[in-house]
Amino acid sequence: MSRVGKKPVPVPSGVTATVTGQTVKMKGSKGELQYIVPNVVDVKFEDGAVSVLPKNQTKEARSLWGTSRAQVANLVEGVSKGFEKKLEITGVGYRAAMAGKALKLSLGYSHDIEYEIPVGITIAVPKPTEIVISGIDRQVVGQVAAEIRDYRGPEPYKGKGVRYAGEFIFRKEGKKK
């Protein structure tokens, strides 16, 4: 039994939920999102909450049960509050700035990196060494953060690079004489 899947997802006031077949649509103050639930899982909207149940007791249905419930919960949180990821830049001369509708990154390469911001995502640069990514779709926010971090991931010797806020970097000792 899925402990996550058993709990129905409460829909707060200000968010409208519609379930038609296998499609769950949420509309709130931040925007509108939808998720298509896999066919092995049944979804219902009743008593102000969305409940997810497996159609049968196969391994596939039981494994997608909790996943589908978590996806629906992310829809509710996304359209009501939104999601946010923070990145920190560490290193001499490493910085970020907004250049129109693109993010300009100076990460120690011979050229600056221009990152085009996807639709539905807002990026803010409060300090040259801090990037804040926000949006309503949790998957897209995480993907954008991962792509920016991939340009220069944190290295273990000096800790230079782009890291998630609060991420621990395992440090290594340098060469011995």
Which tens digit of pLDDT belongs to each residue from 97-108? Answer: 999 899 999 999
Stretch(es) of the chain classified as CATH 3.90.930.12 = 3-80, 83-164
* Cα separation, 74 vs 9, whole angstroms: 10
pLDDT given at position 2: 67
- The kind and range of the H/E element at 7 are none
Which tens digit of pLDDT belongs to each residue from 16-39? Answer: 999 998 899 999 999 999 999 999
AA identity, residue 33:
L
> Across the chain, how many H-helices and E-strands are there?
3, 13
Rounded to the nearest integer, the mean pLDDT of the chain is: 92
* More confident of the two residues 177 and 43: 43
Residue 176: pLDDT band (50, 70, 90) is: confident
Q: Which phi and psi (to 5°) does residue 154 adopt? A: -65, 135
Residue 111: pLDDT band (50, 70, 90) is: very high
The class (CATH top level) of 3-80 is alpha beta
The CATH code belonging to domain 83-164 is 3.90.930.12
pLDDT given at position 139: 95
24 - beta bridge partners?
19, 35
Which tens digit of pLDDT belongs to each residue from 160-173? Answer: 999 999 999 999 99
* Cα separation, 171 vs 159, whole angstroms: 7
Residue 4: pLDDT band (50, 70, 90) is: confident
Structure-token match 């010797």, residue found: 157
* Cα separation, 164 vs 7, whole angstroms: 30
Residue 133: pLDDT band (50, 70, 90) is: very high
**Would you say 61 and 41 are in contact if contact means Cβ atoms under 8 Å apart?**
yes
163 - beta bridge partners?
88
**pLDDT over 70 at 1, yes or no:** no
| Total Cβ atoms within 10 A of residue 143 | 14
pLDDT given at position 3: 78
pTM for this predicted structure: 0.88
Using a 10 angstrom Cβ sphere, with 0-12 exposed, 13-18 middle and 19 or more buried, the burial of residue 35 is middle
**Would you say 87 and 103 are in contact if contact means Cβ atoms under 8 Å apart?**
no
